[in-house]
A and B are shown apart, each in its own frame.
Chain A
Amino acid sequence: MKSTKLFGAALLMSTMLAVGSAQSKTLVYCSEGSPEGFDPAPYTAGTTFNASSKPLYNSLVQMDRGTTNVVPGLAESWEVSADGMEITFNLRKGVKFHTTSSFTPTRDFNADDVIFSFARQWKKDHPWNQYTAGIAWEYFDGMDMTALLKDIVKVDDNTVKFVLNRPEAPFIANMTMDFASILSAEYAAKLEADGKKDMINQQPVGTGPFMFVDYQKDAVIRYKAHPDYWDGKQPIDDLVFAITTDASVRTQKLKAGECHVAPYPSPADIASLQADPNLQVMEQEGLNVGYLAYNATQAPFDNPKVRKALNMAINKQAILDAVFQGAGAAAKNPIPPTMWSYNNDVQDDPYDPDASKKMLADAGVSGLKMKVWAMPVQRPYNPDARKMAELIQADFSKVGVEVEIVSYEWGEYLERSKAKDRDGAVLLGWTGDNGDPDNFLAVLLGCSAVGGSNRAQWCYQPFEDLIQKAKVLPNNDAREPVYREAQAVFKEQAPWATIAHSVVFMPMSKKVMNYKMDPLGSHRFDGVDISE
């Protein structure tokens, strides 16, 4: 360990010498938390991915920076068989892994690395499946990859074929996700031989735009640009993550010039950041949705007219003003507007308490008492669920519906809200994983998710047929109209009151150039430059 650290220091020194008297370009990012580790696959937190998969690794396909468009990564191209069951990736040649203090690669990236990266998550008997006791492959299993994969075949050194058990259009989008990062099989073999398997999580080696230099726990992570990166060396030489967990302090650091980029400002600080002449504040709607899910299996909420009437009683603008303080946009669809296939033709339920009251009366509902569940935690899609619940309570009382607000500890809340016989409507939300509409519509509203992540317990066959159809269509052009139709069906049936998509603000120094906000909410520094 010690020799490694010395080597790390020597590496940095040599880099500094190499650039000679020229000032190396360093970008300091005040990150909001510490990474759990540097192997992305066992984790689910965005903070971890920003520090691991984004700078250090590549996947076979990746998102074009600032969009949800899938572009080639370590695979130059790919072909999907006519039946959609086989996807063949043609791998990029001459891709170099990082040379670090603990590892010098002897070969370029090849098919073995791809197979290693997936097999370790997939096969329970793989020597790396439990490289640390108790490790779980949350995303791989969460995306149902175990059931989906039939085989991964090495056709030759530069060709890998994924054989599926069923056609699955979102598969390519899944391959852009962080769990699909490609690790070095050669490095793994060396660690295994040295009896230091867990180092794969602490001293990472990847093919990504930056190489790992050092991590001082909960304080600083240092990276340097990968000199042999397949897509060209980065404009900046060093990337530093200064871990700063408190939002107000991040803002102060940015103002004091101690960091160049500081994510997740407090809503209260945004105006002063925008007013600062040295700073720029980017903003974008997040790939998320906050909603109120009725329980569609319980009377009277099994009646779409009742749900619709309640939706019309909610004053969304008041919620946006009070809860989001301007950092939110009204939601009308279950997917956010930045996602492809978003149906802008859908009309949102208008705020009309009188009409709502009448509709409830027409549906034979009077003196209704219900529970509204308020989450105990702050989430990107809902900064203050308690306040939101209180506003809804006031809105519903205007149409004669009496609301009792309930809340549980977060773990309990998640668990209890899944119950099919749950009493009441639940406030919750979702942040997208892979930019695919299936990741919202099937996960949150599909029949198979009832009793799980389908908190509305809503299984409506016409909607289900549409999302199942879209899942197996060969390309996004064909899938798009189907998803648009699904959104229309959703709106008409109203299993949720769609409330808001949060707006994400990204304050940074005006020196930072070419930063692009990621619709999926990650923070990437490849391609980013900094002026002197």
Chain B
Amino acid sequence: MLRFLLSRILLLIPTFIGISIVSFGFIRMLPGDPVLLMAGERSLTPERHAALLKLLGFDRPLWEQYLGYLWKLLQGDLGISLKTKIPVAQEFLTLFPATIELSLCAVIFAIVLGIPAGVLAAVRRGTVFDHSVMGTALIGFSMPIFWWGLLLIILFSVTLQWTPVSGRIALTYFFQPVTGFMLIDSLISGQAGAFKSAARHLILPTIVLGTIPLGVIARQTRSAMLEVLGDDYVRTARAKGLSTVRVVGIHALRNALIPVITTIGLQVGTLLAGAILTETIFSWPGVGKWMIDAISRRDYPSVQGGLLLIAGVVMVVNLIVDLLYGLTDPRIRYRS
């Protein structure tokens, strides 16, 4: 198991270097530079343009800039945002808890609804229930996030007034973030009603962000379950006289979970991408919205740092998923 873990961790190093090159290169491949975009319609003289590029250190050859970046990176320095002049890592860490909170809620929402729906659809294969679950999953998977978000806002927030339109908590609550997770901070603050307000603000963004993973997980669970339910050992378990709940819940589901876990792991990348749109719709102060803004401004340090950190998170999650395989399936553990 230790070797398995070490080999996976060692693999992270070249991946990380690769990502640093890609994130460094991609944003620079886009035409236009931060100085031009800062000036907008106001034109700059070529001298001033050059002087500003020099001031920001973008006049040096690319390889030199990259090595400088890598050297700072090794010291844990991601640079300073061109926009706010605040260290990128500090900005990222301020915003990241909001993204994690939202993504976690969305994953939990998708798992809690998706797995049982998939299992039931498999068990009742070919029934109206199966068709309606799979049909709904397909619709959820194909739903444009932006449109879906606005639709929910108009129905639940404006017409029915059940949920707030956007934000993380009602503006009447004011306390300093301790963990950055609003659900926890609102509890710590001790202000009456704060937790309820934070939870209410999470409902719609969670549904919107969780819709696609929910569809994917439900479909994946169904097909994995169908495969497993036809296996010999399930028939044996049934022949032994075990209850359906036991056969499906313990014997079949556990074996069907491997591809489902893989899917959930892969959804983390999708979630972070989806978070960009969801955060924009719900004015959710997370890293997704921040990255989009940084890209449009060619804020090189923010884009590089942000991509690197997000990629880091995806890599760690995939590592955890790899380890979970080992826990779920002894064959993987023994093979490695």
Candidates B38, B56, B176; contact of A138 at CB < 8 Å: B38
Candidates B174, B280, B281; contact of A9 at CB < 8 Å: B174
Q: Which of A9-38 contact B (CB under 8 A)?
A: 9, 12, 26, 28, 33-34, 36-37
- Please determine whether A411 and B281 come into contact, CB atoms closer than 8 angstroms: no
CA distance A418 to B283 in the complex (A): 37
- Whether B32 is near chain A, meaning CB under 8 Å from some CB there, is yes
Stretch at the interface among B13-21, B106-114, B129-137, B150-158: B150-158
Whole-angstrom distance between the Cβ of B209 and the nearest chain A Cβ: 15
Q: Which residues of B contact A138 (CB under 8 A)?
A: 38-39, 42
If A9-B174, A242-B171 touch, whether A411 touches B37 (CB-CB below 8 Å) is: yes
- Please determine whether A198 and B168 come into contact, CB atoms closer than 8 angstroms: no
If A219-B167, A242-B171 touch, whether A37 touches B154 (CB-CB below 8 Å) is: no
Q: Which of B161-183 contact A (CB under 8 A)?
A: 161, 164-168, 171, 174-177
- Whether A353 is near chain B, meaning CB under 8 Å from some CB there, is no
Stretch at the interface among B76-84, B265-273, B318-326: B76-84
Candidates A33, A132, A141, A249; contact of B48 at CB < 8 Å: A141
- Please determine whether A244 and B283 come into contact, CB atoms closer than 8 angstroms: yes
Candidates B33, B80, B94; contact of A217 at CB < 8 Å: B94
If A9-B174, A214-B174, A252-B165 touch, whether A36 touches B83 (CB-CB below 8 Å) is: yes
If A36-B84, A134-B85, A217-B94 touch, whether A222 touches B285 (CB-CB below 8 Å) is: no
- Whether A482 is near chain B, meaning CB under 8 Å from some CB there, is no
- Please determine whether B285 and A217 come into contact, CB atoms closer than 8 angstroms: yes
If A245-B280, A245-B289, A252-B158 touch, whether A411 touches B177 (CB-CB below 8 Å) is: no
- Please determine whether A8 and B176 come into contact, CB atoms closer than 8 angstroms: yes
Whole-angstrom distance between the Cβ of A117 and the nearest chain B Cβ: 18
- Whether B91 is near chain A, meaning CB under 8 Å from some CB there, is yes
Q: Which residues of A contact B165 (CB under 8 A)?
A: 249, 252-253, 256, 258
- Please determine whether A202 and B31 come into contact, CB atoms closer than 8 angstroms: no
Q: Which of A400-422 contact B (CB under 8 A)?
A: 408-412, 414-415, 418
Whole-angstrom distance between the Cβ of A12 and the nearest chain B Cβ: 6
**Nearest A-chain residue to B171, judged by Cβ:** A240
- Please determine whether B32 and A412 come into contact, CB atoms closer than 8 angstroms: yes
Q: Type the 1/0 row for B45-81, where 1 means its CB is closer than 8 Å to any CB of A.
A: 1001000100111000000000000000000000010
- Please determine whether A244 and B176 come into contact, CB atoms closer than 8 angstroms: no
If A220-B171, A414-B41 touch, whether A243 touches B32 (CB-CB below 8 Å) is: no
Q: Which of B251-310 contact A (CB under 8 A)?
A: 280-283, 285-286, 289-290, 293, 298
- Please determine whether A414 and B43 come into contact, CB atoms closer than 8 angstroms: yes
- Please determine whether A132 and B298 come into contact, CB atoms closer than 8 angstroms: no
- Please determine whether A216 and B285 come into contact, CB atoms closer than 8 angstroms: yes
- Whether B86 is near chain A, meaning CB under 8 Å from some CB there, is yes
CA distance A258 to B91 in the complex (A): 27
CA distance A398 to B165 in the complex (A): 49
- Whether A354 is near chain B, meaning CB under 8 Å from some CB there, is no
- Please determine whether B33 and A411 come into contact, CB atoms closer than 8 angstroms: yes
Q: Which residues of B contact A242 (CB under 8 A)?
A: 167, 171, 283
- Whether A6 is near chain B, meaning CB under 8 Å from some CB there, is yes
Q: Type the 1/0 row for A471-484, where 1 means its CB is closer than 8 Å to any CB of B.
A: 00000000000000
- Whether B95 is near chain A, meaning CB under 8 Å from some CB there, is yes
- Whether B30 is near chain A, meaning CB under 8 Å from some CB there, is yes
Q: Which residues of A contact B175 (CB under 8 A)?
A: 9
CA distance A418 to B171 in the complex (A): 46
If A9-B174, A141-B48, A245-B280 touch, whether A418 touches B43 (CB-CB below 8 Å) is: yes
- Whether A308 is near chain B, meaning CB under 8 Å from some CB there, is no
CA distance A142 to B42 in the complex (A): 8
Candidates A135, A219, A255; contact of B158 at CB < 8 Å: A255
**Interface majority SS (helix, strand, loop, mixed), chain A:** mixed
Q: Which residues of A contact B150 (CB under 8 A)?
A: 248-249, 252
If A218-B285, A256-B157, A414-B41 touch, whether A136 touches B52 (CB-CB below 8 Å) is: yes
Q: Which residues of A contact B57 (CB under 8 A)?
A: 134
Q: Which of A5, A243, A414 has the most CB of B within 10 A?
A: A414
CA distance A412 to B33 in the complex (A): 9
If A12-B174, A245-B280, A249-B282 touch, whether A430 touches B41 (CB-CB below 8 Å) is: yes
- Whether B330 is near chain A, meaning CB under 8 Å from some CB there, is no
**Nearest B-chain residue to A429, judged by Cβ:** B41
If A245-B283, A252-B153, A252-B158 touch, whether A414 touches B174 (CB-CB below 8 Å) is: no
Q: Which residues of B contact A428 (CB under 8 A)?
A: 41
Q: Which of B1-43 contact A (CB under 8 A)?
A: 30-33, 36-43
**Interface majority SS (helix, strand, loop, mixed), chain B:** loop
- Please determine whether B37 and A410 come into contact, CB atoms closer than 8 angstroms: yes
Candidates A2, A245, A248, A453; contact of B41 at CB < 8 Å: A453
- Please determine whether A133 and B43 come into contact, CB atoms closer than 8 angstroms: no
CA distance A106 to B85 in the complex (A): 29
Q: Which of A232-257 contact B (CB under 8 A)?
A: 240, 242-246, 248-249, 252-253, 255-256
Q: Which of A487-517 contact B (CB under 8 A)?
A: none
Q: Which residues of A contact B293 (CB under 8 A)?
A: 33-34
- Please determine whether A201 and B85 come into contact, CB atoms closer than 8 angstroms: yes
Q: Which residues of A contact B298 (CB under 8 A)?
A: 411
Whole-angstrom distance between the Cβ of A472 and the nearest chain B Cβ: 23
- Please determine whether A414 and B289 come into contact, CB atoms closer than 8 angstroms: no
Q: Which of A102-147 contact B (CB under 8 A)?
A: 132-136, 138, 141-142
CA distance A2 to B281 in the complex (A): 31
- Please determine whether B40 and A414 come into contact, CB atoms closer than 8 angstroms: yes
- Please determine whether A411 and B36 come into contact, CB atoms closer than 8 angstroms: yes
Candidates B30, B80, B82, B164; contact of A409 at CB < 8 Å: B30
- Whether A315 is near chain B, meaning CB under 8 Å from some CB there, is no
Q: Which residues of B contact A255 (CB under 8 A)?
A: 158
Candidates B37, B82, B171, B283; contact of A246 at CB < 8 Å: B283
Q: Which residues of B contact A134 (CB under 8 A)?
A: 55-57, 80, 82, 85
- Whether A337 is near chain B, meaning CB under 8 Å from some CB there, is no
Q: Which of B41, B80, B168, B298 has the most CB of A within 10 A?
A: B41
Whole-angstrom distance between the Cβ of B39 and the nearest chain A Cβ: 7
CA distance A357 to B314 in the complex (A): 62
Q: Type the 1/0 row for A439-457, where 1 means its CB is closer than 8 Å to any CB of B.
A: 0000100000100110000
CA distance A528 to B27 in the complex (A): 43
Whole-angstrom distance between the Cβ of A398 and the nearest chain B Cβ: 30
- Please determine whether B42 and A453 come into contact, CB atoms closer than 8 angstroms: yes
- Please determine whether B153 and A410 come into contact, CB atoms closer than 8 angstroms: no
- Please determine whether A219 and B174 come into contact, CB atoms closer than 8 angstroms: no
Whole-angstrom distance between the Cβ of A523 and the nearest chain B Cβ: 17
Whole-angstrom distance between the Cβ of B136 and the nearest chain A Cβ: 26
CA distance A245 to B149 in the complex (A): 14
- Whether A44 is near chain B, meaning CB under 8 Å from some CB there, is yes
**Nearest B-chain residue to A39, judged by Cβ:** B85
Candidates B44, B94, B166; contact of A253 at CB < 8 Å: B166
Whole-angstrom distance between the Cβ of A314 and the nearest chain B Cβ: 21
**Nearest B-chain residue to A5, judged by Cβ:** B176
Whole-angstrom distance between the Cβ of A350 and the nearest chain B Cβ: 29
A28-B171, A414-B43, A452-B45 known; 4 new pairs, CB 8 Å cut-off, are A42-B85, A44-B40, A253-B165, A414-B36
- Pick 21 A–B contacts, CB within 8 A, sort by A: A2-B176, A28-B171, A44-B38, A44-B39, A134-B55, A134-B80, A214-B174, A217-B91, A217-B95, A220-B167, A249-B150, A253-B166, A256-B157, A256-B161, A258-B164, A408-B31, A411-B32, A411-B36, A415-B32, A452-B43, A452-B45
Residues of chain B touching chain A, judged by Cβ–Cβ distance below 8 Å, are 30-33, 36-45, 48, 52, 55-57, 80, 82-86, 91, 94-95, 150, 153-154, 157-158, 161, 164-168, 171, 174-177, 280-283, 285-286, 289-290, 293, 298
Q: Which 7 A-B residue pairings sit nearest by Cβ, starting from the closest?
A: A411-B32, A218-B285, A452-B43, A219-B285, A411-B36, A132-B85, A409-B31
